[in-house]
Every structure is written in C-alpha cells, then in structure tokens.
Amino acid sequence: AQSVAQPEDQVNVAEGNPLTVKCTYSVSGNPYLFWYVQYPNRGLQFLLKYITGDNLVKGSYGFEAEFNKSQTSFHLKKPSALVSDSALYFCAVRPWGAAGNKLTFGGGTRVLVKP
C-alpha cells in the first residue's frame, strides 16, 4: 500500500525568505510524485510532478521540488516566498504504471507567509 507523510501541519515564513514544505512517501516500485495547492474555497491546483529523469523538477509560480530516492522524499521549495503563496499544500504519490492509478495524498501542510 502507498502512503505519504507531511510532517508539518503548518509552516510559517517571512515574505522573501526561502520556503520548504516536506514530504516523504512509501510506494511499491518507482513513484510518480505530485504537489498540489489548495486556496480557500478552491479545488486542488496542480503545481508540479516527478515522473523520471532529473531529480529537480520545476513547476508553476516559481516552485520546485527535489526527488530523493534514498530518503524517499519529495520536498517542495521556493527560493523567495510571497504572501500570495499562503495556502494548503498537498503531496501525493501513485505507483509507476497505468495512467489511471489513484493518487494517495498526504495530510497537507498549511503555509503562512507573513509580510
């Protein structure tokens, strides 16, 4: 069975400072990894994904994530956070294979960026 852990319920960061949101996963075989963001009263918005290749993937709004196979981690990063980045962030995993496989989500991390 696959699982995702996001160890921090909330991350507070000052605007302009680097932002990191942690994620570790467990899955059989190679993983497909995803980050989604949820703004208040909105759906889940896709940010970025790791499928294969370069361990550093870049996504929307200046976000990037680094895949670390040995640590089974996929931490989300942004070099300089904006107040508008305040939202709920979800990490998700699915096993390598059929495109229709379900996503398993972590519990989410609330990011609060203070001016």
Partner 1 sequence: EPEVTQTPSHQVTQMGQEVILRCVPISNHLYFYWYRQILGQKVEFLVSFYNNEISEKSEIFDDQFSVERPDGSNFTLKIRSTKLEDSAMYFCASGGGGNTQYFGPGTRLTVL
Q: Which stretch binds partner 1 (CB under 8 A): 11-19, 36-44, 64-72, 74-82?
A: 36-44
Using CB under 8 A, pick the residue from 34, 35, 63, 67 that binds partner 1.
34
With contact defined as beta carbons under 8 Å apart, do 88 and 37 qualify?
A: yes
- Nearest to 93, CA basis, from 10, 35, 6, 8: 35
The enclosing H or E element of 73 equals strand 73-78
Tell me how far apart the alpha carbons of residues 2 and 114 are, in angstroms, rounded to a whole number.
34
* Residues in binding contact with partner 1, number by CB under 8 A: 23
110 binds partner 1 (CB under 8 A): no
- Region for residue 83 given its phi and psi (left: phi exceeds 0; alpha: psi -120 to 50; beta: otherwise): alpha
**Per-residue binding letters, 40-79, with partner 1 (x by CB under 8 A):** --xxxxx--x-x----------------------------
Q: Which stretch binds partner 1 (CB under 8 A): 22-30, 61-69, 73-81, 104-112?
A: 104-112
